[in-house]
Amino acid sequence: MERSPYKLPSQHGLASLGYFLLSGYYPRITWRTPPVTEQAYTGSMEYVTDPNLRPIVAKVEAGERLSFAEGMQLFDTPDLNTLMRLANLVRERMHGDKTYFVHSIRLEFTNICYVGCTFCAFAAHKDEARAWDYSPAQVVQEVSRRYLPGVTELHMSSGHHPNHKWDYYPEMVQSIKAAYPELQVKAFTAAEIEHLSRISKKSTLQVLTELQQAGLSAMPGGGAEIFADRVRKQIAKNKVKADKWLQIHDEAHSLGMRTNATMLYGHIETLEERLDHMDRLRTLQDGSLSKYGGGFHAFIPLAFQPMGNTLAQNLGKTDYTTGLDDLRNLAVARIYMDNFPHIKSYWVMIGSELTQVSLDWGVSDIDGTIQEEHIAHAAGATSPMALSQASMVKMIQNAGRVPVLRDAYYNEIKVFERNEIQAAD
């Protein structure tokens, strides 16, 4: 049976409402779930109100992997308290209270794109007034304009430009590294790598190898959308196919590059298709860990933004994803994707307050300070375009967790103590 992510039974909403009211969990209040390892499951199976969850609770407590059917039980359960506590159990086993963020710059070097994904409000035709296209020298100027002391990561992803030649891309990375050798460049989604393979007539592995030689450190997780063919044909039919996306990440891992993985949810996909997406990533990660000793750093669910794109117009959709859907999705990911080091909340898409709540639902990373995001904001994201380092620290501390400033490789740069809020900027 096909299950819609939107028509959740009413008890889900009531349970969620009860949770928020009873927990007193709202922004700026320092409160959080009691540590699961100490209280939640020690002889406490009676608090599991969904009998279907009891064998799953036992498996997660024992550190065993869940099957696909068990993953679907997590999506279906009305027992949100148990779902949250299970996700928190996995999260705290891996990271305790530590919550990671990066001091970063986000840069889109062009919004000109020929691909035509129906969910996208960012892409422009080259003749449109809102189109931009930076040369390598202009990219360096843009980095300079956004640069702040302590920034470690430059995150770039952009449109598939119809005219740029291959040399433009390694030259851009080399120019950035010449001006800012300390910056770790995380750039080019697997969809972009496939595009570069086509225009250069090189294999995707060769493209990755040459970009790495130019100074590329890591790959972002974009372009994954939803792997299921049924959905991909409707939202991204001209984009890299699912198997190729996965192959490119495997190739990046084989070069020692670490990558992320995203999932765009909240449009036409079913819950089975979400879990299928997670399942394919879990399988690839198993292979990368065993073959190369490392692979994905983080899984990042991206909430569909309903403004300015044809998919939303065709669906008549003006609503954003619900907070409950966002949290359930993160929790299922944390429990099911047991070999991913981090589940990341992207505060740009779900907002700072829900990001705080998500730290109890399996999330251990909240991305970065960003300095100008344009892709989600073109589609209606209502969050700020950037956050200061102090804001990130406060966001995490006010949710009762320990902020950890990391770099693009997840090396810990600084662990913030409670009295360091004011000193963070």
Which residues of the shown chain bind ligand SF4 in the complex (CB under 6 A)? Answer: 113, 115-117, 120, 122-123, 159-160, 191, 239
What's the min distance (Å) between Cβ of 235 and ligand SF4?
9
Give the β-pairing of 98-102 and 402-406: parallel
Is the Cβ–Cβ distance between 337 and 278 less than 8 Å?
yes
Q: Which is nearer to ligand SF4, 120 or 284 (CB)?
A: 120
Q: Which is nearer to ligand SF4, 122 or 132 (CB)?
A: 122
What's the min distance (Å) between Cβ of 310 and ligand SF4?
10
Q: Which is nearer to ligand SF4, 123 or 303 (CB)?
A: 123
Q: Which is nearer to ligand SF4, 72 or 379 (CB)?
A: 379
What's the min distance (Å) between Cβ of 191 and ligand SF4?
6
Is the Cβ–Cβ distance between 301 and 261 less than 8 Å?
no
**Cα 331 to chain centroid, rounded:** 13
What's the min distance (Å) between Cβ of 316 and ligand SF4?
21
What's the min distance (Å) between Cβ of 309 and ligand SF4?
9
Q: Which is nearer to ligand SF4, 36 or 107 (CB)?
A: 107
What's the min distance (Å) between Cβ of 160 and ligand SF4?
5
Total length of the chain:
425
CA angle 35, 40, 46 (to 5 degrees): 170
Q: Which is nearer to ligand SF4, 376 or 395 (CB)?
A: 376
What's the min distance (Å) between Cβ of 201 and ligand SF4?
20
Residue with tokens 């192959």: 247
What's the min distance (Å) between Cβ of 117 and ligand SF4?
3
Q: Which is nearer to ligand SF4, 123 or 335 (CB)?
A: 123
User: Which two three-digit tokens encode residue 416?
Assistant: 């913030």
Is the Cβ–Cβ distance between 259 and 249 less than 8 Å?
yes
Q: Which is nearer to ligand SF4, 115 or 315 (CB)?
A: 115
Residue with tokens 């063919």: 229
Q: Which is nearer to ligand SF4, 56 or 120 (CB)?
A: 120
What's the min distance (Å) between Cβ of 123 and ligand SF4?
4
**Those residues with Cβ within 8 angstroms of residue 127's Cβ, 6 or more apart along the chain or in another chain:** none
Residue with tokens 């927990």: 23
The torsion region of residue 98 among left (phi > 0), alpha (psi -120 to 50) and beta comes to beta
Q: Which is nearer to ligand SF4, 71 or 159 (CB)?
A: 159
Q: Which is nearer to ligand SF4, 230 or 237 (CB)?
A: 237
What's the min distance (Å) between Cβ of 335 and ligand SF4?
29
What's the min distance (Å) between Cβ of 121 and ligand SF4?
8
